[in-house]
Structure 1
């Protein structure tokens, strides 16, 4: 009887060892250096800030597509690209100007682009305006609102006197164009208006329609009738200014895109999941989540009941907590948020919450689909030319992987212990076999 139990234990240990060794040799380690290398590439000057509507944005979508192919991620619905239409700001060849003219239309002063004034990217429904004190204007402490030819414009004093911030483009923004100026220039403009001078402004952008692509791949699960798991990140950014200064968008959001691509490689190596896993590179997030909205519109039936893990700004300063971002309708007790925060607590990870509709989780939450965004809420360089690869932190990337991978295994692999703990299982199995097989033999030799 004792011998039978011993052989049964040996068989169980061998099976356990075999399964865990299989995972050891099959699972591709999540490679942080690969993530960094891809962030460096996607945020390089050759992509010119990946503005939707630009050739460089198209090149970015091709990069995501080729990465899916390389990682053996199949196209979703037989096509990696999901197309949708939108409007974008198209740069013209003319030069921008902000001028002060006297009553004889002679230029009194012309300001320097990039130093004294600059466009904010919010809108260009009309790209020029002119006004004086007789015009329909509202002058406040830090902004001037102008009505010119049935359109409204705003000139505002830049916070902290810096002109390097670049907003997202919003086709339906309330004003036709927004101009930033330094505090000194703002006071000058108000003074010149009081003197009876005219202010003329022109910014060479027009709003035009274009077709963009989301990039969508899939790992087919054991049961495709179950709601899928969606892992996503947006690859677009805000382009370059009229001086050719590039807004590289390394943290926002080359980081999230490259993190998601590396996750696709890792997850593919885990084996067949219980349900489909969809990977999406969203476009036009910076234009108001247009890519994720288009994705929901086309695949609403498939996505009902799904869970979305979105990655936006992964790799911020180590001192910044990992942020679990839900929508304004969420709380710390929303099931998905509660699950992920529990993993953070158990893993002793420094984290916090934000409840804002400020990334691609938002359209999903509007449709009552479970969705969160993982991010490092480090906004110190966001939407400025300083958002470069130099400031990406490897440890923050590892931190997000450690948490999100556990939730993915929970959602898509039923918390498979051979995925979660294959290394300690190998150690325990080998130790157990050594104890059961070798120690009795050693004991018999000593006794003899």
Structure 2
């Protein structure tokens, strides 16, 4: 451990040697487009380098990126935002690992974890002993005239053996063929445990990755391979005992924040997340890749933009607001960093507005140009954008302050936001999102344009927040209704804690509040975010039910109409 820390220090020192040591922000920085371009290019090349290992939150790559941002803040002359520190830690759940007690026994023969079997991410930590029953592909599809359960009886409390592949006569687009659908069908038929096998050499085996975002089912679920598979296929079975033991992986991430104290009553937040996907895994669009996911556009570009704005605003006189510059972490884990930033903020009513820079490095002037979201969150944004003319690129605006980036946490606290974004490109969440593909002149122009908007807003006093009725809960992943609440992804207790309420939606009408913990929807238990979303899938628009919540020490039941 000491050796690893020593390597981090050495690498950080080599990075910081690249940073010029100059007296103060006002004398050392020029703000013409070319100078800005040169600085952001240097920042992005370092942040998106192989040595940063993809900057995944909770890793040494994140620590190195955080230290680089701190060094920039110090050189600029920003004050530490936290007490004697630029960094503030927070804990989060980051998936699962195999525990010490995973077990598979068939006819008293014990098999080896990893070689002969492994638990699947859908599994609950449970054990069960019982008879095996082969159910083929485990598919019921009237559309394809197929029912693997048709001639099977006495299935309750059996361990189902299910083929991981699917037959040729079933449409591959049919959603009843995926693992989750097969598992849910098996549970409905009485399965007390599931063993997946794979007899088709053309079919991939199920992933060994243990995700924190997959709905856990209430039974043990494994994949049998090698000797265990051969014994099951032998046909003389039988009884088996399955035990699944998965342990939570809890990690620590760091937000980085620097401060310009202008003695004002209000504060402007300018932020962008600096974390990315590390070596792939959850969120990667290159399945199975273990390469460094560089995250040059997502979001070294926004981080460099945030740092560059800190340089600029440190050089500006007579500002009417204080300014905080934040590098959020764990955005890729569910916007956890920005949520924690606000939870530790002393008084959010003093925040005037928030600017989010996320993926501003791939400006394409021949297509959409610059996207600015959140224009409906204050009465002034549209007019400011209209009077801030530019011939450099097209501008497309959207009223909503929601969406899958860090401005959402501020919107939910009734803070006006603007989210600057140059759109998703084919390299998004792939190892190929590298620094050499960044449009540096384009990003420099976006930064200058955003600064013109902020300069005007700075002189307009306290901005008025406008609460919009959002059309959709954009965190919803499953088919079914929505209730207009935003889950708190940093919460690791039982239930789903609400981070924000969308005005005019069923949750708000039912009297739910931020901080409430949802325990049950109707008769469906809610243990975490994924089971919350699954529970919503049982209802249709217009139906009425109840929602059980914990508020402080009280357990309350509210009526709700979807």
Q: Normalised by the size of structure 1, how large is the TM-score?
A: 0.63
Q: Which moved more, 1:356-365 or 1:136-145?
A: 136-145
Q: Which 10-residue stretch deviates more, 289-298 or 26-35? A: 26-35
Shift of 1:62: 0.9
Q: What pairs up with 1:138-287 in 2 under 5 angstroms?
A: 140=175, 143-145=178-180, 146=183, 171=212, 173-175=214-216, 207-221=248-262, 223-225=263-265, 227-241=266-280, 244-287=290-333
Q: Is the 8 A contact 1:81 1:215 kept in 2?
A: yes
* Contact 1:292-1:360 within 8 A present in 2 as well: yes
Is 1:373 paired with 2:413?
no
Distance 1:273 1:152, change over 3 A: farther
Match of residue 60, structure 1, among 62, 65, 81? 65
Mapped contact 2:40–2:305 kept (Cα < 8 A): yes
SS of 1:387's partner is coil
**Are the equivalent residues in 1 in contact too, given 2:360–2:421 (CA < 8 A)?**
yes
Q: Distance in 2 between matches of 1:337 and 1:137?
A: 59
CA distance in 2, matches of 1:45, 1:60: 12
Q: 1:392 to 1:175 in 2, by over 3 A?
A: farther
Return the offset for 1:51.
Answer: 1.1
1:11: which partner in 2?
A: none
- Return the alpha-carbon distance in structure 1 between the equivalents of residues 193 and 46 of structure 2: 41
Q: 1:80 aligns with which of 72, 76, 86?
A: 86
Q: Counterpart of 1:410?
A: 456
**2:383 aligned with 1:342, yes or no?**
no
- Cα distance in 2 for residues equivalent to 1:369 and 1:61: 26
2:338 aligns to what? Answer: 292
| Count of residues paired in the alignment | 351
Higher relative contact order, structure no. (Cα contacts within 8 Å, ≥ 6 residues apart) = 1
Question: Quick check: 1:264–1:279 contact (8 Å CA) kept in 2?
Answer: yes
Contact 1:27 1:269 in 2 (8 A): no
Q: Is the 8 A contact 1:219 1:278 kept in 2?
A: yes
Q: How does 1:91-110 map to 2 (within 5 A)?
A: none
Paired position in structure 1 for 2:372: 324
Q: Are residue 44 (structure 1) and residue 49 (structure 2) matched?
A: yes
- Paired residues of 2:52 and 2:61 also in contact (CA < 8 A): yes
In structure 2, C-alpha distance between the alignment counterparts of 1:254 and 1:42, rounded to whole Å? 6
C-alpha distance in 2 between matches for 1:262 and 1:339: 25
Deviation at 1:173, TM superposition (A): 4.4
What is the distance in 1 between the residues matched to 2:123 and 2:278? 15
Q: Which residue of 1 aligns with 2:501?
A: none
Compare 371-380 and 134-143 and name the one that shifted more: 134-143
- Is contact 1:216–1:281 with CA below 8 Å preserved after alignment? yes
CA 1:345 to 1:171, structure 2 compared with 1: closer, same or farther past 3 Å? farther
Shift of 1:144: 2.3
Is this contact kept in 2: 1:315–1:395, CA < 8 A? no
User: Where does residue 383 of structure 1 map in the other structure?
Assistant: 429
SS at match of 1:40: helix
Contact kept? 2:97, 2:249, Cα under 8 Å: no
CA change 1:66–1:337 in 2 (3 A) is same
Deviation at 1:35, TM superposition (A): 0.6
Say whether the 8 Å CA contact 2:160–2:195 is kept in structure 1: no
Match of 1:3 in 2: none
1:70 deviates by 1.2
Task: Give the SS at the match of 1:316.
Answer: coil
Per-residue deviation at 1:239? 1.1
Q: The residue matched to 2:291 in structure 1 has which SS?
A: coil
Residues 293 and 363 of structure 1 are in contact (CA less than 8 Å); yes or no, is this contact kept in structure 2? yes
TM-score of the two chains, using structure 2 as the length reference: 0.51
